[in-house]
Amino acid sequence: MSVRVRFAPSPTGFMHVGNARTALFNYLFARHHGGTFILRIEDTDIERHSEEAVRVIYEALKWMGIDWDEGPDVGGPFGPYRQSERLNIYKEFIEKLKEKGLVYECYCTPEELEEMRKEQLKRGEPPRYTGKCRNLTEEEKEKLRKMGRKPVLRFKVPEDRTIVFEDLVKGRIEINSRQLGGDFVVVRSNGMPVYNFVVVVDDALMKITHVIRGEDHISNTPKQILLYEALGFTPPAFAHLPMILGPDRSKLSKRHGSTSVREFKEKGYLPEAFTNFLALLGWYPKDGKEILSMDELIKRFDIKDVNSAPAIFDTTKLNWMNQVYIRSYPVEKLTDLIIPYLEKAGYDTSNFNRKWLEKVIEVTREYLTVLSDAPGYMETFLKDDFEVSEEAKSFLAENPDRLKVIELFYHKIKSLEGELSEEKFKEIIKEIGKELKVKGKNLFMPVRIALTGKMSGVELPILVKLLGKERVLKRVENSLKQVNL
RNA sequence: GUCCCCGUCGUCUAGCCAGGCCUAGGACACCGGCCUUUCACGCCGGCGACGCGGGUUCGAAUCCCGCCGGGGACGCCA
């Protein structure tokens, strides 16, 4: 039987990195086995769902390089792929449960249930539904209905049964039905079925073979297995991925900083780096190779190699990976991605020659960790009216020779005939060194300051070449003005 | 509180199932050196972990028991 897996997020308006990793592992698993990857939108909680929120999911997945074979937008043989559009399907299976006498109406109000939970907790008992309404008579129900109460439908959980499943990453897991918190709700009082129920119906009908999801779903699994059985379906295989933790070792959430895919995209992480990094959170290739393209990930991915211990989300390594990817990215693509950051920083990029911009990026890419660093590092090339830093000024003031270097450099460039090439620049510097009898830092640093106002930066010959004679002169004039007070 | 899951360098992890090849390997980070007439890159080196206690065994990171620690779940959220 061919592998069919699904990623089933609820549209909350943002894609959490934990969800992104779940999607990725499902995707890798599907592609590795030549199976089908399905996208299903879990929006039974209608109040929270919006079209925009669904689009956020599409965008995040596409950005990461994940495509799906079946889904709300592309369709497929087992649609619809949005739970809010599957309501009559669920109704049919609710009827089945009713016929079998496996569900019953419960008229307790949320307030009553909350009260009950509090008391149980106070007594040191695990909170659970007691089964209060399990044996209500018709008259009692009628009475409660007259009070204006709308019932929920609860599933009858068997008294004392050990539910066992073989988890693909955790191993054998056994839970007694007594630990399930009592009879659980399958249909809300507003008639809307609840997650644990719809997920079973959908996974069964969509012929899902492997359910790969976060560890926080382990406690749902026995309930779902009970429903599979009640409905006459065979449960799929389960694989529960270890949690992703924040630096404080608690479940990663918004208070830990950036946790949405979009934030990483906006900061300027390359999708290849981000995906590569996520893949290594809880999984490790047998051969130990860490920089891996999507194809290489697919080739190597094995659910058996997924770690069962949780991982802390620490972006230090992501930063390194991003640098690695930035340095090997095609310049054209990199330029396309960097231009928006330049625009945001106030540059009108239409003023720049595209080829020239690419050359600038070619030399500055080495310095970038994230794309949003680009405007800062590229400033040296883009802005001629810079300010000479205080550090640089005092450096020049320390030794009169240093200023002389700048002045001589200026005259030599001014009287230069023809193009200012890298070689020409090196020659000129050598000449200055000989004529003024200076060398080392005393020779190079003044020129650097005159050209950039800073004490560090890219290699001078390259800078000079990309600037051209006119801009070099303009810059030296600008610096001289600031230093000669 | 109850149940479930987890515990190897600061972090991601290899090794654990099939005990000796482990004076525990790699990567990131950190520190130092080299390279570079700057910074970064690159190269070389260093620091650094089997949660604790018992047991089994000639031998345990690996198997067993207990403890401790961390996390998750306990919704008419998904």
For A37-41, A84-88, A129-133, which range has the lowest pLDDT when averaged over its residues?
A129-133
Q: Domain containing A186 — which CATH number?
A: 3.40.50.620
Is the pLDDT at A43 greater than 90, yes or no?
no
Compute the distance between CA of residue A169 and CA of residue A172 in angstroms, rounded to an integer.
Answer: 9
What pLDDT is recorded for position A28? 97
Residue A342 resides in a domain: no
Give the distance, in angstroms, between residue A239 CA and nucleotide B5 C1': 13
Compute the distance between CA of residue A175 and CA of residue A276 in angstroms, rounded to an integer.
Answer: 35
Nearest residue to A8 (alpha-carbon basis) of A71, A89, A77, A78: A71
Q: Report pTM.
A: 0.93
Nearest residue to A301 (alpha-carbon basis) of A207, A165, A205, A210: A210
Compute the distance between CA of residue A353 and CA of residue A344 in angstroms, rounded to an integer.
Answer: 18
Active site residue A426: no
Closest residue (Cα, C1') to B76: A188
CA contacts within 13 A on the Cβ side of A418: 5
What crossing angle do the helices spanning A390-397 and A441-452 adopt, rounded to 10°? 140
**Is beta strand A171-176 parallel, antiparallel or unpaired with respect to A162-167?**
antiparallel
Residue A479 resides in a domain: yes
| Kind plus residue range of the DSSP H or E element containing A237 | strand A237-241
Per-residue pLDDT, averaged over A374-388, amounts to 89
Among A199, A216, A241, the domain boundary falls at: A241
Among A184, A212, A241, the domain boundary falls at: A241
What pLDDT is recorded for position A46? 60
Residues A241 and A214: beta-carbon distance below 8 Å: yes
Closest residue (Cα, C1') to B27: A290
Give the distance, in angstroms, between residue A440 CA and nucleotide B9 C1': 42
Compute the distance between CA of residue A166 and CA of residue A391 in angstroms, rounded to an integer.
Answer: 65
Per-residue pLDDT, averaged over A277-288, amounts to 94
Q: Is the bond leading into A80 cis (omega within 30 degrees of zero)?
A: yes
Compute the distance between CA of residue A323 and CA of residue A366 in angstroms, rounded to an integer.
Answer: 8
Mean pLDDT of chain A: 91
Q: Which nucleotides of B are covered by protein (CB under 7 A)?
A: 1-8, 10-15, 25-29, 37-41, 70-78
For A100-109, A230-239, A305-314, A424-433, which range has the lowest pLDDT when averaged over its residues?
A424-433
What crossing angle do the helices spanning A17-32 and A271-279 adopt, rounded to 10°? 80
Compute the distance between CA of residue A33 and CA of residue A97 in angstroms, rounded to an integer.
Answer: 35
Q: Domains in chain A: how many in total? A: 2
Q: Domain containing A443 — which CATH number?
A: 1.10.10.350
Nucleotide nearest to A192 (CA to C1'): B76
Give the distance, in angstroms, between residue A397 CA and nucleotide B7 C1': 59
Residue A51 resides in a domain: no
Residue position matching structure tokens 């009950």: A116
Residue A78 resides in a domain: no
CA contacts within 13 A on the Cβ side of A115: 5
Compute the distance between CA of residue A69 and CA of residue A73 in angstroms, rounded to an integer.
Answer: 10
Please tell me whether residue A350 adopts helix, strand or coil conformation.
helix
Among A194, A211, A241, the domain boundary falls at: A241
Residue A468 resides in a domain: yes
pLDDT band at A48 (very low <50, low <70, confident <90, very high): low
pLDDT digits (tens, 9 = 90+) for A440-483: 888 888 899 989 988 888 888 889 889 888 899 899 888 888 87
Residue A339 resides in a domain: no
Q: Across the strands, what pairs with A245?
A: A251, A312
Is the pLDDT at A293 greater than 60, yes or no?
yes
Most confident of A304-313, A392-401, A459-468: A304-313
What pLDDT is recorded for position A419? 80
Is the pLDDT at A120 greater than 90, yes or no?
no
pLDDT digits (tens, 9 = 90+) for A171-229: 999 999 999 999 999 999 999 999 999 999 999 999 999 999 999 999 999 999 999 99
Is the pLDDT at A433 greater than 90, yes or no?
no
What pLDDT is recorded for position A485? 53
Compute the distance between CA of residue A461 and CA of residue A110 in angstroms, rounded to an integer.
Answer: 74
Is the pLDDT at A47 greater than 60, yes or no?
no
Nearest residue to A63 (alpha-carbon basis) of A74, A71, A55, A72: A55
Residue A158 resides in a domain: yes
Residue A280 resides in a domain: no
pLDDT digits (tens, 9 = 90+) for A137-180: 888 888 988 998 899 999 999 988 999 999 999 999 999 999 99
Per cent of chain A over pLDDT 70 is 99
pLDDT digits (tens, 9 = 90+) for A247-276: 888 888 888 888 899 999 999 999 999 999
Give the distance, in angstroms, between residue A264 CA and nucleotide B38 C1': 32
| Kind plus residue range of the DSSP H or E element containing A104 | strand A103-106
Q: A475 is in which domain, residue-wise? A: 384-483
Q: What is the DSSP string of A25-92?
A: HHHHHHHHTT-EEEE-B---SGGG--HHHHHHHHHHHHHHT---SBBTTTB-TT---BGGG-HHHHHH
Nucleotide nearest to A315 (CA to C1'): B11
What pLDDT is recorded for position A424? 85
Active-site option among A62, A91, A150, A254: A254
